[in-house]
Amino acid sequence: MNIQESIISGIQLAFQNIYNHEVSLDQLSLAPTRKEFEGTYTFVVFPYLKVSQTTPEATANQIGEYLKANVSVVSGFNVVKGFLNLELNELIWLDVFKELYAAKNLGQLPANGQKVMVEYSSPNTNKPLHLGHLRNNFLGYSVAEILKANGYEVTKANLVNDRGIHICKSMVAYQHFGNGETPESANLKGDHLAGKYYVIFDKEYKKQIEALKAEGQSEEEAKKNAPLLLEAQEMLRKWEANDAEVVGLWKQMNEWVYAGFAKTYEKMGVNFDKFYYESDTYLLGKDIVEEGLKKGVFFKKDNGSVWVDLTDEGLDEKLVLRGDGTSVYITQDMGTADLKYDDFKIDKSVYVVGNEQDYHFDVLFKIMRKLGRPYGPGLYHLSYGMVDLPSGKMKSREGTVVDADDLMQEMVDTAAHHTEELGKIDGFNEEQAAELYETLGLGALKYFLLKVDPKKRMLFNPQESIEFQGNTGPFIQYSHARIKSILRKAEQIGVEYKNPDLSGITGIEESESSLIFLLGDFNKKIKLAGDEYSPAIIAQYLFDLAKEYNRFYADLPIFHENNSSILAFRVALSALTAETIKKGMSLLGIDVPERM
C-alpha cells in the first residue's frame, strides 16, 4: 500500500471511529499541499460537514489528530480553515525512493487487455504537409505512445486521402504544364512537386474564370464552366471507370508524393503500423446503409435518399446515401469504421482530426452506437484547434500555408544559431553538433505544440520555443543533459549510486522529498494523460519535474557532500530524475541529449 492509499484508508477509519459514518474509499481524495503551506497532502473537509456536525476547523483538527495517532506516515498536521494539511514522516520518503528506484518498467502501466487504434495524419496526396499537420502528427504519435504506456495494445493508422477532385486538379495541371518533369529533374521532393501543380491549377483556373466573366458569364457560371475544372471532373469519372492512362498517371504522381511524405515523417519522428487509402475505402458503407434500414435506424425519403434521424440526440436529420445510390462522406466513414474493427478487433478508436470536423464525428459516432457496434462506446474524436504564427515570422512556399519541411528545417537552423550563441557545444565535432541541433530544434517544436491543451487554438512562436529557460523543450532537454554530466562525474570519482547504501541517512531535506513526491506522481500523470488523451499533461509534468530538480540541485550542491550515503542517494535521485525525464519526453516523441 502506497503513502496516499494508507492515508486515505486512515481517513476512512477516522470517519468510522469519530463520526460512526461509512465513507467509501473512492469518495476520498488527497491533493498536493500548496507551496505556501507546510505539508505534503491536503484533505478538504468541507464536503463532510453534514457528517461531522461541527465547524470546518474542528472537523479538520479531529481527523488530523486521528491520523497522527494511527497512521505511521503522518508525523503532524496544520489546519487552514477547512483544509487539513498533512505533514509526513520525512524518512518515509526514503522508502518511497527505494521503491521507485527498484521498480522495473518505469512509466509503463500493466497490460489492460484492450486494443486501441489511433488514426492521425490523414494527408491529401495533392500537396505537402503543413504546420497544421505537424500538430496533428505530433498529437497522434504522442497519444499513441501514452496509451501504450497505459497498457493498451496500440495500432497507429493513417487514412490517406488519395482520390477525388482535388487530386485530379494536380494531375490535370501536370498534364498541361508538366513537360515530363519528375522530382529528380526538378530537384524537388515528390509531395512538393504535386503541390506545385495544385497551385498552378488554381492560378490557371482563376484566369479562366476571369476570361469567362469577361465574355459575360456570371461568377457562378464561370466557376462551373472553366475548362480546367471540367477536365478535372472528367478525369475523376475516368479514374472511377478505371481508365488505364488516368490510373497510370495517378499511381505515378502518388508514388512521388509517398516518397516525399516518407522523408517528412522520418524527420518528424512519427510512424504508422497501418495505412488505409481512400481509393480502397470510398465505396464502403453501402451494406451498412441496408443494415440500418432493416434495423429501423435509417429511413428512406420519397426521392430514394437514405437518412438518419438524430433529433433525439440533440442533432438533426443527416443524409447517409443519395437518391441516386452514391455515397456521401459519412457512408464511407461508416464502412471504414467497420473495416478497422474487422482488421484489428479494437475496443477503442481515436480519430485525431481538427475541430472543424466536430459535427461530422458527432454524427458518425452516434450512428455507429445506434447500430450497436461493439466498438461504438470506444469511439473518440481528439479534436484540436488551429495553429497560428506571429505574422511575418515564417516564410511559406506558396505564401498561404507554412510548409512542414520548411518549418522543421528553420527550427533546426534556429537551434543551431541559438546554441552556438550560448556556447553550449564545446567539445562537439561537426556531426555531433548537427545531431544536437536536430534534437533541440525538433524538440522545441514538438514540445511547444504539445504543451497546450489540444482543444485550444494556439499561437506558435518559434523564437520563444527554442529558449533554454521557461516552459520549453530545450529547458527540459538541457536539464537532462546536466544530470547526465553529474552521473558521468559520479562514475569518475567512484560514487556507488546504482545500488546505493542508504543506511547512513538520518533525515531528508525538503527539496529532496519534494522531488521524490513528484517522481512518485509519474504513473498517475501517465494514467491521467491517457484518460484525457492529452500530451499537455505529460508536458506540464516534465516542466515541473525539471524545475524541481534544478531547485534541488541549487539547494544541495551534490559533490560538496561528505557523507557517502547522502552523496550516493543524491546521485541516485538525479539518475531516477533523468530516467523519468527521458521516458516522459519519449511519450511526447522528443529525444533528449546526453550532453550539451
CB distance 13 to 70 below 8 Å: yes
CB distance 468 to 559 below 8 Å: no
Mean pLDDT rounded to a whole number for the chain: 93
How far is CA 60 from its chain centroid? 40
348 phi/psi in degrees, rounded to 5: -135, 150
Can you give the pLDDT at residue 396? 42
Pairwise CA distance, residues 313 & 365, whole Å: 11
pLDDT surpasses 80 at 292: yes
Q: Name the nearest CA neighbour of 397 among 198, 136, 169, 120.
A: 198
Can you give the pLDDT at residue 173? 97
What is the Rg, in whole angstroms, of the alpha carbon atoms belonging to the chain? Answer: 30
Torsional sign, CA 539, 540, 543, 544: negative
Can you give the pLDDT at residue 1? 57
Pairwise CA distance, residues 577 & 592, whole Å: 13
Q: Confidence class of residue 434 from pLDDT cuts 50, 70 and 90?
A: very high
Q: Name the nearest CA neighbour of 138 among 595, 540, 535.
A: 535
- pLDDT digits over 225-279, tens only? 999 999 999 999 999 999 999 999 999 999 999 999 999 999 999 999 999 999 9
- pLDDT digits over 393-425, tens only? 444 444 467 889 999 999 999 999 888 887 767
Secondary structure string (H, E, C) spanning 224-260 = HHCHHHHHHHHHHHHHHCCCHHHHHHHHHHHHHHHHH
Mean pLDDT, residues 435-442:
94
Of 425 and 331, the structure prediction assigns the larger pLDDT to 331
Can you give the pLDDT at residue 596? 83
For the stretch 454-477, what's the b/e string if a residue is b when 16 or more beta carbons lie within 10 angstroms of its beta carbon? beeebebebeebbebeebbbbbbb
Pairwise CA distance, residues 550 & 468, whole Å: 13
CB distance 457 to 386 below 8 Å: yes
Can you give the pLDDT at residue 394? 47
Mean pLDDT, residues 123-133:
92
Mean pLDDT, residues 150-165:
97
CB distance 275 to 594 below 8 Å: no
Mean pLDDT, residues 538-545:
98
Percent above pLDDT 70 for the chain: 98
Pairwise CA distance, residues 591 & 586, whole Å: 6
Can you give the pLDDT at residue 391? 66
Of 428 and 150, the structure prediction assigns the larger pLDDT to 150
